[in-house]
Structure 1
Amino acid sequence: MATAKFRVAICGGGIGGLTLAVALSRYPDIRVDVYEAAAQFKEIGAGVMMWQRTWEILKLLGLGKEFGDIAHASPDSSPGVGFDYRKSDQPEEGFRFYLFQVPYGCIRFHRAQFLDVLVDHLPAGVAHFGRRLTFYNTAQTTSQTSGRRDSEITLYFADGATATCDLLVGCDGIKSVIRKKMLEDLVNKHGGSPTLLEHIEPIWSGTIAYRGLIPVSRLKTGGKEHRTIQTPMMHVVSYGISRGSIVNVVAMASQPHLYGTTYDGPWVRDCDRDELLQCFTGWEPEVEEMLQCIEKPTKWALYELKPLPVYVQGRIALLGDAGAGAGQAIEDAFILAEILGHPSTTLSTLSQTLSAYEAVRLPMANHILKGSRESGTMYEFNGPYGDDFARLGPQIGKQWDWVWMTTPQEEREKALQLAQAKTDLGARL
């Protein structure tokens, strides 16, 4: 391995963290270490879905074939159904009120299989398990060769181990230790507004999601095939994964008036099928029939973050921490890896590079976070349009406009140009 121009520590071995590690591994002059709290890489939940722009990133990383082999079907650019929006909360047969169609449609994977592809492309010696970060500290050091003073980050883990790096990337999820300390440091050490502390703790959305998996064979009875086998559905969310052999189901039960209150109980737990069925009693027959097929449902309290005020502080950066799903984390990872790996990025220009990353990705992350919440209310007819379907359907379609606003390549070029401009400015000051 070539002498590393800097060392990157990634805390969190989920989809975002491993995508970043794989993307950075293309650059032999960057040392990468992934610290994962668990004893092995694993994902909770079953389904992950993405749109064309995220699929383009996987291809740019050279992973198109492997991910194509595990998708619900081989992705192609022909128009496909993103989601079939249906009114189902009634005893009589429901109806479609909006059909969202786009090139590639909705590309779907099983989360565990998705993670396995990333793990298979992770270089040896990069992963460190049983490393739960509890604290980090930044200190000034002096190079023995150049005499130059620089910053080094020391990581402290729950098992007593320590490690050092030049750049720490927090991929540790909605309960992020790194986000918490970053915001606390901005307030306590750098005179930031105390309101920054309001962005540490996740907020209960007032929504419970019941999740389950159904073998496709159970959705084919009497010569009739359930529509969700072929088409991703939205009211009760359901779509095929694992080469079309399994249907992933997410059934939402929302109480908007409970938004921001305290949820009493674990965030994720097993539940009885009777609880699930009772919650959706009185829905259209095909929904009740589908839910009957879930043998082991789980119950998730859905939390979210307030839009984040910062993504970067010094040489600490967040990735995928806006609560907007795996696709957003993959985009963050791609952009960050591309600008870190650029020849113009060195240890001395890391601050300018990270500032460019924040300038490009933070507005997008917060836009998606806000839009996701608005979309969720509309899907359940709790938004400003209620069940005025003539207006509701097109408005739902507009919520996806961000997918086509830019391309990953355009985002990368914007970030690279901004990083160079910030570096040039810094050299003149």
Structure 2
Amino acid sequence: MTTTTTSQSDMMPIRVAIVGGGIAGLMFAIALTHSSDSKATSIHLYEAASKFTETGAGIGMFRRPWQVMKRLNLVDLVKGMTNVPDPEEDLHLAFKVTKSDEPTSKEHLEVFIPFGNVTLHRVEFQTALAHYLEQKAITTHFNKRLLDYAVQEDGSILLNFKDGSTEICDVLIGADGIHSATRHTMIKLATEEAQAAGNDELVKQLTRPGVKDPVWSGTACYRCVFPAEKLRELNPNHGTLTAPINYIGKDRHIVCFPVSRGTMINFVGFVSHPDKEGTIWEGKTVEQRTHEDLVAAYQGWEPEVEQLVKCIDAPSMWTINTLKALPICSLGPITVIGDAAHAMTPHQGSGAGQAIEDAYVLAALLTHPSMTREKIPQALKIYEKVRLPHANEIQRKSRENGKLYEFVPSEEYPHLSAGAKTADPDQLVKEIVDVAKEHWQWAWTTDVETEKEEAIRLLEEGLKA
């Protein structure tokens, strides 16, 4: 009798719960359906909102996540939204950089890298993913905000939602963003386990500020997307009309680039308070601001910045919260991906890209032909081993880039921050760009396919053992 019950259980589909319908959750669902046997998995996606919605404006995509898009046959989905580098292996303009916190314009330093950088309107991209997913064998539930979860005696996971409902799954993928309830519960339970085991070092790592709950990066940003035609009327030769530009200055900088095939301009204006990094932000994370606020923030900057500011009537101000490097991102049959695992500052333009890479590697493990319920924790630990160190390093480099762009004192590059008032701004910008390019080399010298293959190798070796 027992043997029959076990056999029937093994034949039942693995119940996959994805919490969060942003880019991370949607990409994981797509990756899972791309290679999985629909009879082997039952996929449910739980979204807190009443429909798929996305916050933010533009995103960038370097070669690594673009390769994932190609392998999942998603390129045609976004070709109408952006200009794809051709040929991809050639050097392409990624962005331009100029020191702009003075009234006189400086030379724009052009940065070329293999493949370059694909820019997308975040809402358009997320909407396209959601529509694509409608054709796949998954069940979507809206108005489902996760409160916490509990692993039951039989190994299944009980999900508790804010509306009082519950669901059961075999594996939980937390794609619920920086304020992840999945991560919060996972870190809490991991801390209790480490305390019970007397693992003081792990307890110390798990209880650091910025691990269970986010902390403020010390930076906020003005955000807006506006019609390119407004800028063209002011200056038909404005650099942002054709390429991403990073206007840098002391304690603030601006990143602008065209989206929606050049019809719109994405504006992000950063304002930093370095002494506040690591503190807890107590106010609203998004607030409306006035045109006058924006003018005051960049008073005395070069003409191209003044022209950008003139195009913006009422920007929103976003507080940039982040996580510290997590020591773990999986516990038993639960894991987190994307911002839930490694929310970072946007100064590498790689937050969305890292979510895409997480989704790709994790889906490859969970759709392995030998995958069973019992092997899920092993697969999730392999995902953690392969992906978390890489994502944490990108998180660190993104933070360093932000300091470079705003001449904030850095232990690693003290001479660059000290040179903020140098008589040779062009040389200063060149040195900053050289360091930033070093931080970005992973984007074109490595391939996420290698990480996927390593993850599969570790899984298969573990199965043999």
Same fold (TM over 0.5): yes
CA contact (8 A) 2:194 2:203 kept: no
Between Structure 1 and Structure 2, the one with more strand by share is: 1
Question: Does structure 1 residue 50 correspond to structure 2 residue 61?
Answer: yes
Q: Please say which of residues 38-47 and 259-268 is displaced more in the overlay.
A: 259-268
Q: Given the alignment, which residue of 113, 125, 132 partners 1:121?
A: 132
Which sections of structure 1, spanning at least 5 residues, go unmatched? 142-150
In the other structure, the counterpart of 1:247 is: 265
Q: Does 2:222 correspond to 1:201?
A: no
Distance 1:272 1:224 in 2: 26
2:25 corresponds to: 17
Q: Superposed, which structure 2 residues align to 1:1-400 within 5 Å?
A: 4-26=12-34, 27=36, 28=38, 29-71=40-82, 73-76=83-86, 77=88, 78-96=90-108, 98-122=109-133, 123=136, 125-141=138-154, 151-191=155-195, 193-195=202-204, 196-198=206-208, 199-221=211-233, 224-235=236-247, 236-320=254-338, 321-324=341-344, 325-382=351-408, 383=410, 384=413, 385-386=416-417, 387=419, 388-400=428-440
> Over residues 287-332 of structure 1, what are the superposed CA-to-partner deviations in whole Å (9 max), with x where a residue is unaligned?
0111110123110111111101001100110101201411100000
The aligned amino acid for 1:313 is L
Aligned to 1:144: none
Whichever residue aligns with residue 131 of structure 1, its letter is K
**CA 1:415–1:124 in structure 2 vs 1: closer, same or farther (change >3 Å)?**
closer
Deviation, structure 1 residue 227 = 0.7
**Whole-angstrom CA distance in 2 between matches of 1:242 and 1:30:** 36
Q: Relative to structure 2, which stretch is displaced further, 391-400 or 304-313?
A: 391-400
Q: Which residues of structure 2 form unaligned runs of 5+?
A: 1-9, 248-253, 345-350, 420-427
Aligned partners of 1:68 and 1:75 also within 8 Å: no
Q: Provide the rounded CA distance (Å) in 2 between the counterparts of 1:7 and 1:234.
A: 45
Residue 396 to residue 222, structure 1, CA distance change in 2 (3 Å)? closer
Tell me, in whole angstroms, the C-alpha distance in 1 between the residues paired with 2:181 and 2:324: 16
Deviates more, 1:381-390 or 1:78-87: 381-390
Q: Which moved more, 1:273-282 or 1:344-353?
A: 344-353
Check whether the contact 1:8–1:30 (CA below 8 A) recurs between aligned residues: yes
Q: Does 1:411 align with 2:451?
A: yes
Query: Partners in 2 of 1:183 and 1:264 — Cα distance?
Result: 22
Higher helix share: 2
One-letter amino acid of the counterpart of residue 149, structure 2: Y
Residue number in structure 1 paired with 2:424? none
List per-residue Cα deviations over 1:129-186 (Å, max 9, x = no partner): 0000011110122xxxxxxxxx100101011111111100111111111111111101
Q: Is the 8 Å Cα contact of residues 272 and 297 (structure 1) preserved in structure 2?
A: yes
Q: Report how far residue 222 of structure 1 moved.
A: 6.5
Give distance in 1, aligned partners of 2:221 and 2:430. 27
- What is the TM-score of this pair, normalised by structure 1? 0.92
Deviation track 1:226-260 (CA, whole Å, cap 9, x = no partner) reads 11111100121000111110010101111211212
| Counterpart secondary structure, 1:102 | strand
Q: Structure 1 120/390 Cα, relative in aligned 2: closer, same or farther at 3 Å? A: closer
Q: How far apart, CA to CA, are the structure 2 residues paired with 1:203 and 1:283? A: 30
Whole-Å Cα distance in 2 between the matches of residues 412 and 4 of structure 1? 27
Distance in structure 1 (CA, Å) of the matches to 2:53 and 2:42: 23
**Coordinate RMSD, CA, aligned:** 1.7
Aligned residues of 1:214 and 1:293 also touching (Cα < 8 A)? yes
Q: Distance in 2 between matches of 1:42 and 1:222?
A: 33
- The farther-off stretch of 161-170 and 200-209 is 200-209
| CA–CA distance in structure 1, aligned partners of residues 12 and 84 of structure 2 | 38
Tell me whether 129-138 or 379-388 shows the greater mean CA deviation. Answer: 379-388
Distance in 1, matches of 2:28 and 2:237, equals 40
CA contact (8 A) 2:256 2:266 kept: yes
State the alpha-carbon separation in 2 of the partners of residues 64 and 245 from structure 1.
20
Greater CA drift, 253-262 or 381-390: 381-390
